[in-house]
Structure 1
Amino acid sequence: MTLPVSIPLAASAPAPAARTLPLWRRAFNITALRRGLILVALAALWQAYAVWADNPLMFPSFTETAQAFWQGIASGGLLGKAWTSVQVLLMGYALGVALAGVLAALAASTRIGEDLLATLVAMFNPLPAIALLPLALLWFGLGTPSLLFVLVHAVLWPLALNMSSGFAAVTETLRMAGRNYGLRGLRYVALILIPAAFPSILTGLKVAWAFAWRTLIAAELVFGVASGSGGLGWFIFENKNRLETASVFAGLGAVILIGLLVEGLVFRTIEIATVRKWGMQR
């Protein structure tokens, strides 16, 4: 009787130890750190060019601009002007978002609304908002209503266009699911179209914010000329007349800083909590 020969099994190789990434690689994976390094590099280039040019009146250095920025904050003038601009911007932005939502909802619900939005966007979207400022001054006079008029124009059309494009891209499967649940009108738009089209809507909100911010600063420069009051635009114009170029750069830096804060804190938080959480974007 032949006994079965036992063949020894090869010992399984031990699993390799998990490799830890080096410290510099882990740091490089942090988005905020990478972007911070880019800002530091830009500031270093700015400082180097200003030192080489040696003309503070035309191009102040980064350190001179930072000193002017700090002085503006310490005196309260820069913060007060910035808050004035932000208040007006928030009012105009909210009005523009509300009107864009109404137009986009009408376009998604009815054929007449779709034709109306397409016609209005084709007419007014190419028109620069600042070009309407003379009419705004004529109709509403100097003050906040004129600024709100041009801000609503800057926000309304790009946002309505992005909303409408997002609604049009919603799949027929989701539309049929909403109809099968008996959703109609505003409930259909709020529960089906808006969540499905939110990436396009969020992009439109970002673009509209940038348009509104640029339009406001440009309009405040004109208002500064006309009435001697205003927000950051007037701060920039006033210091330009005084030949305080470092303070002009400080005002421009405040505009950029507010834009970075809104993008990094507000829109990025919304993006992480919505489209990235839902798996709609990487």
Structure 2
Amino acid sequence: MRADRPGPLRHAWLRKSLLLLLLAGLWEALARWQDNALLLPSALQTARAFAAGMLSGELPGYVAASLAVLVQAYALGVAGALVLTSLALGSRSGRDLLETLTAMFNPLPAIALLPLALLWFGLGRASLVFVLVHSVMWPLALNAYAGFGSVPETLRMAGRNVGLNGARLVFQVMIPAALPAMLSGLKIGWAFAWRTLIAAELVFGTTSGQGGLGWYIFQSRNELFTDKVFAGLAAVIAIGLLVEGLVFQTVERLTVRRWGMQRQAPGSPG
């Protein structure tokens, strides 16, 4: 029997693009049926508002302000998580410290710390960085610790048998073996931090005299520019998709998938 040839929809990006077009068509139809741009602007109106904001430089300015805070806080959160994980791997007291702190703080929503952050650091970037570090640190520390703990003892013994000890064993055996769990923690921390940042900016707006993307959405809502509100939300989604597709999937493809440590989904690009 003749085998079926792969069709044009074998590419995941093409299937997802068609799905997005379908959703945009449904949105356009619903908006035209509602016929109230103040409550629900159409997809075309939102696209025009998005394009106008990008061309004027207004929207990129708000996006840049948000990403500047996010990158700083994300780096600090990753560093803190790695320190906690190193302590947990090095001693029993460090493990107890990590387990206690994560049990206390991981279930605590970062946005709930915003009143304390405002009290301690005032209305500025430091308050945002504080709540975002909280968003990143705990899920990454948990995943990294679980990843290192799941490294098989036979793999460690194999590394020692070929002469790997100390830092060489950690960097050439332990970290590659724990990388899938660490990448999962990095993605979770990124998602938590990104949505916490937008929520925090919606609450108290500008930092250091310059507003972020959440403030742009809030300000547009106050001025009844609903199409700009949707354009801001579209920017939030677009940045999330870009980071997931261009950063995390690229890292996964160059590391854990190439090493055969993660199964590739059917239809996904090689």
- Fold conserved between structures, TM > 0.5: yes
1:102 CA displacement: 1.4
**Rg bigger for which structure?**
1
Q: Which runs of 4+ in 1 moved over 6 A?
A: 225-228
Runs of 5+ unmatched residues, structure 2:
264-270
1:173 CA displacement: 0.8
1:83 to 64, 73, 76: 64
Q: Deviations over 1:64-119 (max 9, x none)?
A: 10011011111111010001111111111111111111111221222111111000
Q: Which has the higher contact order (CA 8 A, sep 6+)?
A: 2
- Equivalent runs, 1:39-188 vs 2, <5 Å: 39-180=20-161, 181=163, 183-184=165-166, 186-188=167-169
The sequence identity of aligned pairs, in percent, is 61
SS in 2 for 1:276: coil
1:248 CA displacement: 0.2
1:176 CA displacement: 2.3
In 1: Cα distance, 2:78 partner to 2:96 partner: 20
Aligned to 1:263: 244
In 2: Cα distance, 1:187 partner to 1:213 partner: 34
1:177 CA displacement: 3.1
In 1: Cα distance, 2:32 partner to 2:83 partner: 53
> Given the two structures, how large is their TM-score scaled by the length of structure 1?
0.88
Conserved 8 A contact 2:111-2:199: yes
In 2: Cα distance, 1:152 partner to 1:247 partner: 29
In 1: Cα distance, 2:82 partner to 2:125 partner: 23
In 1: Cα distance, 2:248 partner to 2:209 partner: 33
Q: RMSD between aligned alpha carbons?
A: 1.8
1:188 CA displacement: 3.8
Conserved 8 A contact 1:154-1:215: yes
What one-letter code is carried by the residue in structure 1 that aligns with 2:152?
Answer: T
1:192 CA displacement: 2.4
In 2: Cα distance, 1:58 partner to 1:150 partner: 32
> Given the two structures, how large is their TM-score scaled by the length of structure 2?
0.92
Does residue 274 of the first structure (1) align with residue 251 of the second (2)? no
Conserved 8 A contact 1:198-1:275: yes
How many residues were matched structurally?
262
Conserved 8 A contact 2:206-2:212: no
Aligned to 2:267: none
Q: Deviations over 1:205-224 (max 9, x none)?
A: 11110000001001111222
1:183 CA displacement: 1.7
In 2: Cα distance, 1:157 partner to 1:103 partner: 9
In 1: Cα distance, 2:140 partner to 2:89 partner: 14
Conserved 8 A contact 2:110-2:132: yes
Cα distance, 1:120–1:33 mapped onto 2, change above 3 Å? same
Aligned to 1:211: 192
